[in-house]
Amino acid sequence: MDNYSGESVRKNLEQIRLNIAEACEISGRSADSLRIMAVTKTVPAETVNCIFGMGLDLIGENRVQEYLSKKDAYISDIGGGKAPEVHFIGHLQTNKVKYIIDHMTMIQSVDSVKLAQEINRLAAAHNKTMDVLCEVNIGGEASKSGVSPDDITTLLEQLAGMESIRVKGLMTIPPPSGSDIFLGRMEELFNKIKARNIEGIAMDELSMGMTHDYAEAVKHGSTIVRIGTGLFGARNYF
């Protein structure tokens, strides 16, 4: 784990911000219209904590067990009594929702009514409303989770009436090959759904773009870019 360096993370973040600023200028957007998420898979808690002094306040967790092993070591106050936001972005099994329901600000990977029902049930039991994004498998890849573009409206309509979840938008992980094409398709789908004004559904967030394609994602309207390797460096898997 000692490959991680606070100074290298700072330099990486500076470059990421420059790249985002350039992409925003090209596309006529304000840099304030999107957020950088630090994806923390395999990154030790002490390294994650250093980003909170660099102006980042949002982290993304992929694995329930890994998050549970690190959460108590994360800084709980990043200034002014504010805690960092934590979003769950990995594939989530229904039997593991109970372990994270009290700790997540948002669950980005909702891809079935069954999962949404369990989140809704547990959120109600914990007297909270959970913000969620619905995951779209924009490339139709068998290896990835997410609902098909053809089925996303039906899923959204089924979730609209659930009282303890609040749908805030969409998330996707496009195929690495031809990423720009799929990012464009996702932007088109997002805007089409937004224009429909489905009652009980907000289209505020479009989470897409990772280390290899975040600049392109910015040009296609992403509001949250999820960056791990580009920020922290090469992964040390365990």
Which domains, and CATH codes, for the chain?
Answer: 6-232 (3.20.20.10)
Instruction: Give the tokens for residue 44.
Output: 């030790």
Position 234 scores a pLDDT of 82
Q: Decide: helix, strand or coil at residue 203.
A: strand
* Tally of helices (H runs) and strands (E runs) in the chain: 9, 8
Position 152 scores a pLDDT of 98
State the greatest distance between any 2 C-alpha atoms of the chain, in Å, as a whole number. Answer: 49
Helices (H), the chain: 6-27, 45-51, 64-70, 97-100, 113-125, 152-159, 179-196, 214-219, 229-232
Strands 58-61 and 224-227: unpaired
Position 2 scores a pLDDT of 45
Contact in structure between 119 and 158 (CB atoms under 8 Å): no
Position 3 scores a pLDDT of 56
Instruction: Give the tokens for residue 105.
Output: 């600000």
For the CA atoms of 159, 161, 165, 170, what is the dihedral angle to 10 degrees? 40
pLDDT (tens place) for every residue of the chain, 238 residues total: 345 678 999 999 999 999 999 999 999 999 999 999 999 999 999 999 999 999 999 999 999 999 999 999 999 999 889 999 999 999 999 999 999 999 999 999 999 999 999 999 999 999 999 999 999 999 999 999 999 999 999 999 999 999 999 999 999 999 988 889 999 999 999 999 999 999 999 999 999 999 999 999 999 999 999 999 999 998 764 4
